[in-house]
Amino acid sequence: MVPNRSHLLLAGLLLFLVGVQFRMVESFTLSEKSSRVLVAQLGSKGTAQQQSLFGGATPAGPRTIQPPAWLGLALMSVGSVITLKSLSMKG
């Protein structure tokens, strides 16, 4: 399936809005259930990743994810480029 103008417009706007969301929010706190799922998926090989993503959480309790500052700007940039590309397409 080839993406047409409306598909690219929707994807671009969604990426832009997700980027705005990442710029507005400083951290996300996961529930205990989702924290357990995350620990089960990463296992022992993700210990270094857990240290960089999670700030001061106990292994059994809820975890906090602090996305990097550049992530929101990158998503906003890609979203705006895709949106402008979709507006320049024919039909």
Please report, in tens digits, the pLDDT of each residue of the chain (91 residues total). 788 999 999 999 999 999 999 999 999 898 888 888 888 887 655 455 555 555 544 455 688 889 898 999 999 999 999 999 999 998 7
Stated as kind and residue range, the H or E segment containing 64 is strand 64-65
Considering only CA atoms, which of 2, 16, 10 is closest in space to residue 78? 16
- Three-state DSSP class for residue 42: helix
Considering only CA atoms, which of 62, 56, 65 is closest in space to residue 36? 62
Same domain, 58 and 80: no
Same domain, 77 and 88: yes
Determine if the pTM surpasses 0.75.
no
Residues contacting 66, CB < 8 A, separation 6+: 26, 27, 28, 53, 55
Q: What's the structural domain count of the chain?
A: 2
Same domain, 75 and 87: yes
